[in-house]
Amino acid sequence: IVYNFTLAAFASIAIVYMSQPNTDDGLIYIFTYLLIFQLLIINVVLGVFNLLPIPQFDGAHFLVHLSLKYNINSVAEFFDRYERYGIIVVLIILMTPLKNYLLLLPVQTILNLLIS
């Protein structure tokens, strides 16, 4: 997660300092600008997606670690019991309107913060 957001931060710095390409710019400049912009988007999406508290993702591992640290064993047991259903939860999120609230809204917010 740290790598995704670090790469996204570097890409956003490059995007902010590069002027938006126009028709007079060279093909290499336009390609570089679009490549950096796509890297920014991909890293933010991966970072937000990985932070979701779904079993097998880092968000769930973080919650399990916190729950064990503060002796809330029921959370750790819940994630341990339902770990095999993580991919089903991911598919449900991606195939329903939940993706708008769990993925698209946080990604848009982070991108707006990084680019502005």
Per-residue pLDDT of the chain (116 residues; tens, 9 = 90+): 677 888 888 888 888 888 888 878 889 989 999 999 999 999 999 999 999 999 888 899 999 999 999 998 898 899 889 888 989 999 999 999 999 999 999 999 999 998 88
Give the range of the structural domain holding residue 68, as residue numbers without chain letter: 2-115
> Per the structure, how many domains does the chain have?
1
Q: What are the residue ranges of helices labelled H in the chain?
A: 2-17, 27-51, 58-69, 73-81, 86-95, 98-99, 105-115
